[in-house]
Amino acid sequence: MFGAVALLALAVPSIYRWRELRQWWLCVAAGGLVGVAPWLLFIYQHGRPESALATVRTTYSERLERFLTELLPRAFGLRAPDGTWLSPSVVTVGAAAVLILGSLAGLVLLVVRRGAPALPILVAGVLAFPCLALFSPLGFVNDARYALPFLPQLLMGLGAWSLLLPQAVRRSPWLIAVLPTMWALVLCVPVIHHQSGWAFMDPDRDARQVVTELQSRDIRYLAGDYWGTYLVDYLADHSLQVTTDGTVRLQDEAAVVNAADRSAVAYIFTAGQDPRLPLAVENYRLITVGPYNLYIPLAAG
């Protein structure tokens, strides 16, 4: 996947500057090595990582369809992580269609206005979809960050429509400030409001309270749902070992928790979820902290 993204990114400058490869390729190669140095160091210490497994089983055609109908709308801030469209849905579905089709049409417009030199950008933008659909992990579309490989070409396609503006407007320095601000207000603020409303408070307040509850009882092991365990683990600053009952990100921590005495492991689930507990529910004390149901083993006090 990294290789495919790198090839798509390098295709355009390699075609534009193929006569000067020796002049700029060394800088690109050095910069790339510096950028991935932490990952290379991790591989050196821990060995080659296993291939990423697909969390959602999809076919090639299904991935292509979901890129357009689910992943990109999330990337543009028009569809929430749980799949619901922002309201009014008629407006947001239409906006998503305009942005996606407009960005692809903009790549064609770029070639029409700039001629052959813009053709590599169009090719790279169009190839991004069939190339990245080859990778089964991209069947997971609930996380808008998976759309990052598509965004450079899509944003160039949207930017191409500025070629229709008068030259005085195109060259205005105000565009540098106005366009990103409008983008944030129109496409970021609504999805944040959809998820958390207009609450002005620490969004991690409840998770921090969970950390306090666990530390006060000297509990060092936590399991449960994905978002609860990993958020609490991060806020606990290495004082906890955690695992989830679903997708496991940190295998070493999971092994430690799974080897621990069941009566020493607390469990956390978001309100409304059915708790999956290894012991009978009578062996736990239920503490509700905001949206979290925290199950403390009675043996821990």
Question: Percentage of the chain surpassing pLDDT 90?
Answer: 29
Q: Does residue 54 or residue 138 have the better pLDDT? A: 138
Q: Does residue 97 or residue 272 have the better pLDDT? A: 97
Q: What is the pLDDT of residue 233?
A: 92
Mean pLDDT over 278-299 rounds to 90
Contact 240, 232 (CB under 8 A): yes
The backbone region for 197, taken as left when phi is positive above 0, alpha when psi lies in -120 to 50, beta otherwise, is left
pTM as predicted: 0.67
82 pLDDT higher than 70: yes
Calpha distance 53→189 (Å, rounded): 33
51 pLDDT higher than 70: no
Instruction: Residue 108: name the closest of 175, 47, 156 by CA.
Output: 156
- Non-local (6+) Cβ contacts of 125 within 8 A are 104, 107, 153, 154, 156, 157
Half-sphere CA count of 127, side-chain side, radius 13 A: 14
Helix (H) or strand (E) holding 294: strand 292-297
Candidate from 128-142, 166-180, 251-265 with smallest mean pLDDT = 166-180
Instruction: Residue 264: name the closest of 225, 230, 236, 223 by CA.
Output: 223
What string of H, E and C letters represents the secondary structure of 197-225?
CCCCCCCCHHHHHHHHHHHHCCCCEEEEC
92 pLDDT higher than 70: yes
Summarize pLDDT for 32-49 with one digit per residue, the tens.
788 888 988 888 887 776
Query: Which class for 5: exposed (0-12), middle (13-18), buried (19 or more C-beta within 10 A)?
Result: middle
Confidence of residue 293 (pLDDT cuts 50, 70, 90): very high
Contact 292, 210 (CB under 8 A): yes
Candidate from 63-67, 198-202, 268-272 with smallest mean pLDDT = 198-202
Summarize pLDDT for 97-130 with one digit per residue, the tens.
999 999 999 999 999 998 888 888 888 888 889 9
Q: What is the pLDDT of residue 49?
A: 67
Calpha distance 207→227 (Å, rounded): 10
Annotated domain spans of the chain: 1-50, 55-195, 205-300
Summarize pLDDT for 190-230 with one digit per residue, the tens.
877 777 777 777 888 999 999 999 999 999 999 999 889 99
- Spatial strand order of the sheet with 265-270 comes to 241-242, 221-224, 265-270, 292-297, 284-289
- State the average pLDDT for the chain: 85
- Note the helical H segments in 68-188: 72-75, 89-114, 119-132, 151-160, 167-170, 174-187
Residue type at 144 in one-letter notation: A
The radius of gyration computed from the CA coordinates of the chain, to the nearest angstrom, equals: 24
Q: What is the pLDDT of residue 112?
A: 93
236 pLDDT higher than 70: yes
Calpha distance 40→137 (Å, rounded): 21
